[in-house]
Amino acid sequence: MTHPRHKPCSLAPAARNAGLALAALLLLTVLCGCQGRYRFDYGKTNGRSVNGVKVFFDLLRTRGHTVNRCFSLDAQVLKDADVAVLIQKAPGMPPMLEEWLACWLTSSEDRTLVFVARDLDASILFWNDVCRQLKEAHEWELLVFAENTRLEIEAQIDEARAAGAFWGGLFPFADTQEHVPPPARLPVGPADPLATDVQPGTSLLLRTHPVPRSDTDTALLHVGDRPFAIETKFGPAKVLILANATFLLNYSLIDHENRIMAANLADRLGPNRRICFLEAEDLCSALQRGRERRDLWTLKLYNPFAFLQQGPILIVVLHWLAVGLIFLACRAPIFGRPRGGAEAPRHRFASHIEAYGRLLERTGDREYAQELITEYRNRHKTKERPVQ
């Protein structure tokens, strides 16, 4: 449903100048504090970075998927996952990583790899918007600062791209290192699967694009006449290749049409999938460090009695263990419900008197013993009760 557009109200020159001054003040606050308040870490699934993917991470959960992150290729959560999302953070595709991804794809049925090349940053879009607003506010000094910052970011990306290709055999792209075309904003193809329900005229930035390798590959999204996202088969699995993360980064998902395309991508993965984001900056180094830690841990826990597990020593050990168990069974306490031992018979009270008499006899003083007995009788003599 389209809402009627209202005519813009005419502002007095003083009010217009006041509004532009307020906008300039806000932009100045942004420019002075962006280093502390705004983060530009690329591809992070947590935090509030302009270049992060936390919004897309949460969107996948709202679409019914189980979403996790891992920092090593040998993580158990990645081994159990159905979908792996690799948002490239650094140039190059190491052979070790490409080989591992190929093994992961073919080790189980119905697995999917989503590969997003790092060809554009949302930080460029951020500074483009800042430059546009500064230009409208006629803040030329701040505009120069913002333009220089944007150019520095573009130069860093171009330098990183020149250091190594962003793809390998799994990910075919059109251009090579020698030719890097400038980014262009092109309209999205309305009939593509990822463009369902997207408003006509929506555009995305594109510099290079993936290339379908066979007729079985499916183009999921076109911008202009170039494929932006393709789906290719890799044995029993499939690989989704995106030219860049234009509509997946946090800052880009402010736009409603980008959120629709991100939701279409989430639904393309299938229902109730277990998704894992590969989070580490250098996955190969993380995998190598994990292996070294396991080797060191195994070395520390070396069993000094391992020789007892070798035959024929093992047979002798088992024999003596059986003999020991039989011996313990014979000498063990009573099995079953506990029972008390035989109780000693009660002693007669007279035995105490007899023992005391023997002690007096050993003294040899008969008169002394007789006096003690007489005194005891007189002290404890009971009065006779009268007969009724």
pLDDT tens profile 343-380: 555 556 666 777 778 888 888 888 888 888 788 778 87
Q: How many CB atoms lie within 10 A of CB 48?
A: 13
Of the ranges 28-42, 241-255, 328-342, which is most confident?
241-255
What dihedral do alpha carbons 328, 334, 337, 338 form, nearest 10°?
-120
Q: Are residues 248 and 192 in the same domain?
A: yes
Q: Are residues 135 and 151 in the same domain?
A: yes
Average pLDDT for residues 27-54, to the nearest whole number? 67
The answer as to whether 355 is a domain residue is: no
Q: How confident is the model at residue 33 (pLDDT cuts 50, 70, 90)?
A: very low
The CATH number for 256's domain is 3.40.50
> Please, what is the end-to-end C-alpha distance for the chain in angstroms?
122
Q: How confident is the model at residue 114 (pLDDT cuts 50, 70, 90)?
A: very high
Residues 6 or more apart whose CB falls under 8 angstroms from that of 304 comprise: none
Provide the residue type at 285 as one letter: S
Q: Are residues 301 and 196 in the same domain?
A: no
Residues 6 or more apart whose CB falls under 8 angstroms from that of 72 comprise: 78, 280, 283, 286, 287, 289, 290
Q: How far apart are CA 72 and CA 52, in angstroms?
A: 19
More confident residue, 247 or 27: 247
More confident residue, 21 or 223: 223
The answer as to whether 352 is a domain residue is: no
Q: Are residues 208 and 316 in the same domain?
A: no
Dig out the tokens for 13 from the structure: 């020159």
The answer as to whether 199 is a domain residue is: yes
Q: Which domain holds residue 303?
A: 287-320
Average pLDDT for residues 132-152, to the nearest whole number? 78
Is pLDDT above 60 for 200?
Answer: yes
Q: Are residues 141 and 117 in the same domain?
A: yes
Is pLDDT above 90 for 251?
Answer: no
Q: Are residues 207 and 141 in the same domain?
A: yes
Q: How far apart are CA 98 and CA 118, in angstroms?
A: 16
pTM over 0.85: no
Q: Are residues 166 and 253 in the same domain?
A: yes
The answer as to whether 2 is a domain residue is: no
Q: Are residues 312 and 199 in the same domain?
A: no
On whether the CB atoms of residues 186 and 226 are closer than 8 A, the answer is: yes
Q: How far apart are CA 13 and CA 108, in angstroms?
A: 68
The answer as to whether 365 is a domain residue is: no
Q: Are residues 248 and 314 in the same domain?
A: no
Alpha helices in 301-312 (DSSP H): none
Window from 215-229, 243-257, 286-300 with minimum mean pLDDT: 286-300
For tokens 């202009």, the residue is 224
Q: Are residues 258 and 293 in the same domain?
A: no
Give the chain's domain count. 2
More confident residue, 9 or 87: 87
Average pLDDT for residues 115-123, to the nearest whole number? 79
The answer as to whether 52 is a domain residue is: yes
Of the ranges 174-178, 264-268, 291-295, 318-322, which is most confident?
264-268
Residues 6 or more apart whose CB falls under 8 angstroms from that of 177 comprise: 161, 162, 164, 165
Q: Are residues 53 and 152 in the same domain?
A: yes
The answer as to whether 47 is a domain residue is: yes
Pairing of strands 203-206, 184-187: antiparallel
Average pLDDT for residues 168-178, to the nearest whole number? 52
Q: Are residues 273 and 295 in the same domain?
A: no
Q: How far apart are CA 45 and CA 55, in angstroms?
A: 8
The answer as to whether 347 is a domain residue is: no
Pairing of strands 184-187, 112-116: unpaired
For the CA atoms of the chain, what is the radius of gyration? 43
Report percent pLDDT > 70 for the chain: 66
Half-sphere exposure of 377 (CA within 13 A, CB side): 6
